[in-house]
Every structure is written in structure tokens, then in C-alpha cells.
Amino acid sequence: MAYRTAKSGEIITLSQHEDAMMHPVLSQALHHWEALCEAQTPPSRCAIDPRDLSGLLSNIFILERSRPGTVRMRLGGMHLADLMGMEVRGLPMRAFFELSERTRLMSDLEQVFSRPAKLMLHLASDMQGQTPLEGQMLILPLKGPTDDIDRAFGVIATQGPLGLRPRRFRIKRSKISPLFADIAANSPVQQNPKPPRLEGGRPHLTLINGGVDQA
């Protein structure tokens, strides 16, 4: 996937666009995961070395999918424990989300393992009696001990006071992306030869193709 910026007509890759939208903690985790990929396949769980993630340990987590529809935390950093007000190891992933969001979450999460794909979630926690909390979560596929894609590497970052716990999230927006769908910045752009006209002088992005963006 690539984007053309309306202001200059410059083409930017999906990774560049994601970098601009992501919290720095998520961006750093994504770059680490990408560096471990070989031959356009996800890295194995054992390739994730905590010594290489010293600045992210509080925010990262590892998931295990034991069967379709069943995904649990194998481990999670202290920020996740702070969000839930308890140890998160062994918790189902859906426990971090409001009841109304869990079907959507599990549908999106299933694609991380089955396609496989990257999942980006924009989150909010603002149930009655709680101070508003915004967040971003990134989930990336990993190979398990048998080389099946049944593990995932995740990272979460939030903005705002924790307030009353547990904090459970609703999904404001989710994006499921193929793992290796970026195109080079010098690739020709098809079916959109001219930069879109600016309205009111405000730059915007035009999607060229690829990916699944769910509001």
C-alpha cells in the first residue's frame, strides 16, 4: 500500500504513514519485529529477546492462540498489569475490552494468525465514572515452537490518567494490514495520475490501494 500526499504529490509507503500516526513506543516495536522477519515470514517467538526491548518492556506482551477464538496472554509488561489492576498472565485477550467490542476484537485478531496480518487498534476507555483514557495497540504475528503462527507480539501505549481499574477499551478504529504490502516510493502510481486538489489549503492523504481499514 502507498499514499500520495495532497500537498506535494509525494508518494509515501505504508510504513512511513504508520510511523507518522503511531505512538513512538509502537513504532519502535514494529521496527524491531520487522528487523527479525526473514524471507517475508514472521519471526519466531524465540527471536524476541527482552534484552533488545529494554525501553519497551512495560508496554509489550506475548499472546498465544491455542485454537481459533481462544487467545490468551502468555506474558505482559507492568503497564498492562496497571491497566487491569492485576497480573495479566493467562488472561484472555478479550478481558481488556468492553463486552460490546469482543466479537469485533476476536474477528480482527483471528486474521493476525490466519492470514497472517498486522493489526493496529485505536482505543478509548471512558466508561461511566472513569477518566477518559486513549490508547493504541499493535499486534504482530509470530511463529510458535512448531513453526505454526500461533503466537503474537503486541505493544500498547496509553495517554491519560489510569483512574479506576480495570480499564476496558472500546475500539475506535482498527486496521488490518498485509505483512509485506508496501511498495517502493519510486513505483508508478496507477489510476490516480494527478494529485488531488486541496480544499481550504489543508493537506490530506489519498489511499491508493490495499489493506483493510475498519471504522
Question: 14-48: per-residue pLDDT in tens?
Answer: 444 555 679 999 999 999 999 999 888 999 999 99
Give me the pLDDT at residue 194, please. 44
More confident residue, 19 or 102: 102
> Domain residues of the chain, as ranges?
9-178
pTM listed for this prediction: 0.76
9-178 domain in CATH 3.40.1190.20?
no
Q: Crossing angle for the helix pair 24-36 and 14-21, nearest 10 degrees?
A: 150
d(C-alpha 119, C-alpha 25), whole Å: 15
Specify burial of residue 87 (Cβ count, 10 A radius: 0-12, 13-18, 19+). Answer: exposed
- Tell me which residue of 110, 124, 123 sits closest to 176, measured CA to CA: 110
Check: CB of residue 173 under 8 Å from CB of residue 195.
no
Average pLDDT over residues 88-95: 97
Dihedral sign computed on CA atoms, order 150, 136, 82, 102: negative
Q: Which region among 18-27, 45-54, 137-146 has the lowest average model confidence (pLDDT)?
A: 18-27
Report whether pLDDT(139) > 70: yes
- Tell me which residue of 169, 167, 175 sits closest to 79, measured CA to CA: 167
